[in-house]
């Protein structure tokens, strides 16, 4: 491929972007980086440009940077962050290719590398016939787990990044993409993680015993309110609204002996008292004894023993498809495809059939081979694998194209 000029903005809070930039540089490409906060500096130890002005000054700055350096490719994580939305708009006006990365749609050791954006903004087809055609010549996916990530490293680096950004200098005008202040968020998350064993006992005692043996239940998979999957790729301002929508639909039309199990995201900080909130919602809709909150549980067990999964657009939906369970997505999701997931009214979901096996297999092959590389962000050897896979895709112009080096 001809030499290209890459601009890296904010990425995973890990050495991933720095090492990816180095890998592309060794392949003959020109690498640029803009830091917009002190945390960015921590994970890009080399030459970079610092943007220290106000957000209102960012549009002319990024437009001039793209033109002055003849940037051909923009690479970032979090395409809905304020700085990134502006940069993407400027890039598109100038014909600059935009590549986004994030944790994989499929887990645990896959990383997304996708053109333009995710979920609503994804270019992946939503038409069943197009998905089947795309996957027709793709090989089966190797689902064996190759790499292990490291949560302690992720937590340490995340804390270092966000606490550094609280410093008043040298980026006094940085506007964080966080929804909540990091200090109470970290304290609440730490307490939540410490109480996991206590929560597990409470689940066994209060939830599982509350449901008669063999009673049908559906799983509601919560997401974090700070996630842009909720903030940008759904019509909901918070998690309360879609949960209540699901409980209302469940009360109106689910089988009378059915139950709804609402599972919190494992990293939810608990700033909202979800058990009490969900009890009040259930009481309002007359299903107090049939809606249960759980803070812990083996996800695959809940999916396999349940009748189906409701979520806004969590990757839990894709895991449910892998396990052959019906799924309803309330928001914009890459898997919201007729025949793959239930796309009708939520009131009708409780009788929904399983996903079409052939379409499910085609969808999984398509996203694995076209939108991912194998690897992780926070631990070796998976970090090296992710860097090498991403460098190969970017160098050869294979973003959103079939590539078999990762799956």
Residue 394's pLDDT is what? Answer: 97
Q: Which residues pair with 372 in a beta bridge?
A: 112
> CA dihedral defined by 22, 27, 32, 37, rounded to 10 degrees?
-30
- If you compute the radius of gyration of the chain from its CA atoms, what whole number of angstroms results? 22
In the chain, % of residues over pLDDT 90: 84
Q: For 237-264, what is each residue's pLDDT tens digit?
A: 999 999 999 999 999 999 999 999 999 9
C-alpha angle 356/361/366, rounded to 5°?
A: 125
Report angle CA 183, 189, 191 to the nearest 5 degrees: 105
- Indicate if the pLDDT at residue 11 is higher than 80: yes
Flag whether pLDDT at 302 surpasses 60: yes
Question: Which 3 state secondary structure label does DSSP give 356?
Answer: coil
CA separation, residue 304 to residues 5, 161, 257, 286, 374 (Å): 47, 38, 19, 27, 26
Q: How far is CA 101 from the centre of its chain?
A: 10
Residue with tokens 């903004």: 121
Q: Which residues contact 31 (CB under 8 A, 6 or more apart)?
A: 6, 8, 21, 22, 24, 25
Sequence-distant (6+) residues with CB within 8 A of 206 are 292
Q: What does the mean pLDDT of the chain come to?
A: 93
Per-residue model confidence as pLDDT tens digits over 345-386: 999 999 999 999 999 999 999 999 999 999 999 999 999 999
In Å, what is the CA distance from 269 to each residue of 189, 192, 201, 237?
Answer: 4, 6, 19, 18
pTM, whole model, 2 decimals? 0.93
Asked whether 21 and 31 are in contact (CB, 8 A), the reply is: yes
Which helix H or strand E contains 304, and what residues bound it? helix 299-305
pLDDT in tens, 65-98: 999 999 999 999 999 999 999 999 999 999 999 9
Domain 5-149+370-396 has CATH 1.10.3720.10: no
Mean pLDDT of 102-121: 95
User: Edge to edge, what strands does the sheet with 73-77 contain?
Assistant: 49-50, 30-35, 5-8, 73-77, 97-103, 110-115, 372-374
Q: In the chain, where are the structural domains located?
A: 5-149+370-396, 166-362
Same CATH topology for 5-149+370-396 and 166-362: the answer is yes
- pLDDT confidence tier of residue 270, bands split at 50, 70 and 90: confident
Q: Tell me the pairing of strands 73-77 and 309-311.
A: unpaired
**pLDDT of residue 207 exceeding 70:** no
Phi, psi for residue 155 in degrees, rounded to 5: -65, -45
State the maximum Cα–Cα separation within the chain, in Å, rounded to a whole number.
Answer: 67
Tokens at residue 203, please? 């689940």
Q: Which of 133-147, 242-256, 296-310 has the lowest mean pLDDT?
A: 296-310
Other CB atoms closer than 10 Å to residue 1's CB: what's the count? 11
Q: How much is the pLDDT for 189?
A: 73
With a CB cutoff of 8 Å and minimum separation 6, the contacts of 124 are 114, 334, 366, 367, 370, 371, 400
pLDDT confidence tier of residue 226, bands split at 50, 70 and 90: confident
CA angle 132, 133, 134 (to 5 degrees): 95
Domain 166-362 has CATH 1.10.3470: no
| Mean pLDDT, range 284-298, rounded to an integer | 89
The reported pLDDT for the residue numbered 23 is: 98
């Amino acid at each position: 491929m001809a030499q290209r000029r890459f601009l890296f903005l904010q990425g995973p809070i890990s050495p991933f972007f720095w090492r990816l930039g180095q890998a592309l540089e060794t392949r003959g490409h020109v690498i640029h980086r803009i830091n917009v906060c002190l945390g960015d500096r921590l994970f890009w130890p080399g030459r970079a440009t610092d943007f220290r002005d106000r957000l209102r000054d960012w549009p002319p700055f990024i437009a001039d940077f793209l033109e002055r350096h003849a940037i051909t490719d923009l690479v970032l994580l979090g395409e809905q962050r304020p700085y990134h939305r502006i940069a993407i708009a400027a890039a598109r006006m100038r014909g600059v290719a935009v590549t986004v990365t994030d944790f994989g749609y499929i887990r645990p050791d896959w990383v997304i590398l996708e053109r333009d954006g995710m979920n609503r903004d994804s270019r992946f087809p939503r038409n069943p016939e197009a998905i089947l055609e795309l996957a027709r010549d793709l090989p089966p996916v190797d689902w064996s787990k190759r790499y292990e990530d490291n949560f302690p490293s992720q937590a340490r680096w995340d804390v270092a990044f966000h606490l550094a950004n609280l410093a008043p200098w040298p980026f006094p005008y940085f506007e964080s993409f966080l929804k909540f202040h990091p200090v109470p968020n970290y304290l609440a998350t730490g307490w939540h993680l410490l109480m996991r064993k206590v929560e597990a006992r409470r689940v066994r005692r209060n939830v599982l015993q509350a449901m008669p043996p063999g009673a049908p239940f559906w799983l509601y998979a919560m997401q974090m309110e700070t996630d842009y999957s909720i903030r940008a790729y759904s019509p909901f301002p918070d998690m309360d609204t879609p949960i209540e929508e699901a409980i209302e639909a469940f009360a109106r039309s689910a089988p009378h002996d059915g139950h709804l199990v609402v599972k919190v995201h494992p990293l939810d900080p608990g700033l909202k008292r979800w058990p009490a909130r969900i009890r009040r919602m259930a009481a309002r809709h007359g299903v107090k004894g049939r809606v249960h909150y759980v803070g812990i549980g083996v996800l695959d067990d809940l999916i396999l023993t349940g009748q189906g999964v409701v979520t806004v657009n969590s990757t839990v939906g894709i895991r449910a498809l892998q396990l052959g369970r019906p799924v309803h997505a309330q928001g914009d999701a890459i898997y919201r495809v007729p025949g793959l997931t239930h796309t009708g009214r939520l009131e009708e979901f409780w009788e929904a059939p399983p996903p079409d096996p052939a379409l499910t297999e085609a969808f999984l092959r398509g996203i694995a081979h076209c939108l991912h590389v194998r690897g992780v962000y926070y631990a070796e050897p998976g970090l090296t694998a992710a860097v090498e896979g991403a460098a190969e895709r970017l160098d050869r112009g294979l973003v959103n194209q079939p590539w078999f080096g990762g799956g």
